[in-house]
Amino acid sequence: MAIGTRDALVHAAECLMRTKGYAAFSYADLAEAVGIRKASIHHHFPTKEELGIAIVEDYIAKVCSDFERIEKEHQDLAGRLEAYFLVFRASSEGGLLPLCGALAAEMAALPLGLQKLTHRFFDVQLKWLTAILDKGVTNGEIPCGRGARQKAFLLLSVLEGASFINWATRENDLIDDSIIRLIIEEV
């Protein structure tokens, strides 16, 4: 099945955002990547902000779908966290930054609509992680420690940070899931 022009634009622009950054890519870059004229891009997305919003909204929907799938497929905390870790790691393979982190790095340069979506994106991830960690504490799977919210924040911070270090050094050191156990059991 052939991919539609809008979907091709969103996919290519997402890759550009995750490699060059939002501020550093242009519609000329996107036209070259997709093989169409800039005017055709403007037909689908009159402004770069509208394009960015479409990318982030689509991505948030995908992440929420991943969270639902993970909860259906895994009843225990360890399985859910392992699945989350694999989804997160897959999202930053191939020289790409995680979309959430790439946007956060440019927060001051983002239009207001994208700033709000970036906040929402982090909030969605932290709320989900906090909820499953809370359930893990309630079920006796992990100690309470400093609390689920703190553990969620540390886990997301470590994964985002490791992605940036790998991206900057180009060493592609794979962070393994042992970091999850360290954070949830010790904090």
Structure tokens belonging to residue 11? 């996919």
CB 65, CB 80: distance < 8 Å: no
> Which phi and psi (to 5°) does residue 25 adopt?
-105, 150
Q: Domain segments of the chain: what residues?
A: 55-186
Q: Can you give the pTM of this predicted structure?
A: 0.88
Q: Average pLDDT for residues 90-103, to the nearest whole number? A: 84
CATH class of 55-186: mainly alpha
Percent of the chain with pLDDT over 70: 92
Structure tokens belonging to residue 147? 């609390």
Q: What was the pLDDT predicted at 1?
A: 35
CB 14, CB 54: distance < 8 Å: no
